[in-house]
């Protein structure tokens, strides 16, 4: 792949997003132009979607129901056992505010 600005041959490089998803891109050492190809971009977006999807089982807890929150989410949102959260009923979802 050649640089669209200066026609210099671009180098293939690999990097990681802050979330740890790796992606490759092309960089021109001459003018600093960086290109992330579309296919790669879609692959990265797909990985993000997978990372953001979690399933949880609802279990009975007395007269109420309990949802087990996966560990990565408890870490991400600093959720701790025996602390209170706010549940906000929305049209098609229940939002949890920590």
Residue numbers at the binding site for Zn ion (CB under 5 A): 3, 5-6, 8, 28, 30-31, 33
Strand runs labelled E in 1-98: 11-16, 22-27, 34-35, 58-61, 64-67, 86-89, 94-97
Residue 73: CB minimum distance to Zn ion, A: 42
Please identify, using beta-carbon distances, which residue of 32 and 72 lies nearer to Zn ion: 32
Question: Which residue matches tokens 């929150």?
Answer: 69
Residue 13: CB minimum distance to Zn ion, A: 14
Please identify, using beta-carbon distances, which residue of 1 and 6 lies nearer to Zn ion: 6
Please identify, using beta-carbon distances, which residue of 11 and 71 lies nearer to Zn ion: 11
CA dihedral 53, 81, 77, 67 (to 10 degrees): 30
């Amino acid at each position: 792949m050649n640089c669209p600005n200066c026609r210099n041959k671009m180098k293939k490089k690999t990097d990681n997003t802050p979330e740890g998803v790796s992606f490759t891109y092309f960089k021109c050492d001459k003018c600093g132009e960086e290109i992330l190809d579309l296919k790669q971009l879609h692959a990265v977006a797909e990985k993000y979607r997978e990372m953001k999807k979690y399933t949880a089982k609802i279990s009975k807890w007395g007269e109420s129901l309990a949802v087990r929150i996966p560990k990565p989410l408890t870490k991400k949102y600093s959720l701790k056992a025996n602390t209170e959260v706010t549940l906000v009923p929305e049209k098609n979802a229940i939002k949890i505010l920590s």
